[in-house]
Amino acid sequence: MLPDVVRVLVPATAAFMVGIAITPIVTHYLYKYKTWKKTAGKNALDGTAAEEFNRLHNGNELRAPRMGGIVIWASVAMVSVGIALASTLIPALEQLNFLSRDQTWIPLATLLVGAFVGLIDDILIVSTKREGVPLRYRLLMVVALATFIGWWFYEKLEVSVVNIPFGEPLYLGWLVIPLFIAVSLALYASGVIDGIDGLSGGVFASAFASYTIIAFVQDQINLAAFTAAIVGGILAFLWFNIPPARFYMSDTGTMALTLTLAVVAFTTDSLGGGVGISVLPLIGALLAATVASDVLQVVAKRYFGKKLFRVAPLHHHFEAIGWPGYKVVMRYWVLSIMFAFAGVILALSAL
């Protein structure tokens, strides 16, 4: 009988090694087909030119290809499916197979569907001079996917309550579905954190590592193994994303990770007897800050006629006031670890 810790660490290590191994191949084709934006600059959420961002980055988004997120989801998919197939041929490996209907089918499917939709957006961006799939259509895709998954949680897995730390469970009934949609949209919006070399990788690694610990303690070993594999894939990506980055995570990575994080948070809530949803704002505090800074900036410009930040989202504001990119990244890494640690402590204390 394999110890549970081995069942979790093996997928993480395997995903890291696979990610490291496939990166040269992925990089070769990304550079061969010149998968970077064809024109410099970006627009703000209100449709106007993001002048401060464009000044700060001065066309830097043209120096490295997009779609680096392929390294993450491809390594996780290869390890997940590879172990499952190997376990059918070698019975001794069955204990390492973490694919299960109640814990990992939905997260894995969400990861791959999010990656595919994001990949389409990336391909449009690098093959044309446009911004890719219009935002309203991307949001519709997120809502459609989130509606189905929320329905699955409610109807198939019979999730109807949200656990509250140190309090009684909050009964929501079918309102679990719109809650899942709202969480998914908020997390998807936080994907813009992929804006400085190494920033998003460190933040997402901390978040998924937190839920790995939470799932492990709640005896959701299959889910813990899956999220550990994601951490391994992210660390492989991060190995090559240290400034100067070899590639950007872009939509195929951020869409896959943000939507999967929503699923993991719900799976570690009432299904696992924990408070996975309640601690998400703490574990993902920097993601929440990213979304909040964008929203506040739009509100301030529209209703008060002036900007609240030099540039939004928040990490670019710090660049605008003079922080070097590497300093922003390292401080975000430190904060993401601190918030993740606090979220884990709260989640475990509430069990």
The DSSP-derived string for 119-174 is HHHHHHHHHSSS-SS-HHHHHHHHHHHHHHHHHIIIIIS---EE--TTS--EE-GG
Contact 69, 256 (CB under 8 A): yes
Residue 23 has pLDDT above 60, yes or no: yes
The gap from C-alpha 188 to its chain's centroid, in whole angstroms, comes to: 8
pLDDT at 268: 97
| Residue 197 clears pLDDT 70, i.e. is over it | yes
User: What's the mean pLDDT when you consider all of the chain?
Assistant: 91
Rounded-to-integer distance, Cα 258 and Cα 249, Å: 12
Joined together, the tokens standing for residue 85 give 């197939």
Model confidence at 349, pLDDT cuts 50, 70, 90, reads: very high
Task: For residue 190, count other CB atoms closer than 10 A to its CB.
Answer: 26
Mean pLDDT across 182-202: 93
Confidence of residue 176 (pLDDT cuts 50, 70, 90): very high
* pTM for this predicted structure: 0.95
Amino acid at 62: L
What is the signed CA dihedral for 200, 205, 208, 214, rounded to 10 degrees? -140
Distance of alpha carbon 55 from alpha carbon 37, whole angstroms = 17
Q: What angle do CA 159, 165, 169 make, to 5 degrees?
A: 35
Q: What is the pLDDT of residue 127?
A: 85
Query: What percent of the chain stands above pLDDT 90?
Result: 77
Q: How confident is the model at residue 19, as a pLDDT?
A: 98
Could you read off the pLDDT of 303-346 as tens digits, one per residue?
A: 988 889 988 899 999 998 999 999 999 999 999 999 999 999 99
Q: Which residues pair with 161 in a beta bridge?
A: 171
Backbone Cα Rg of the chain: 20
The tens digit of pLDDT for each residue in 45-54 reads 555 556 666 6
Task: At 230, give phi and psi (nearest 5°).
Answer: -65, -45
Confidence of residue 266 (pLDDT cuts 50, 70, 90): very high
Is it the case that residue 62 has pLDDT exceeding 90? no
- In whole angstroms, give the CA distance from residue 308 to residue 71: 36
Averaged pLDDT for residues 233-251? 92
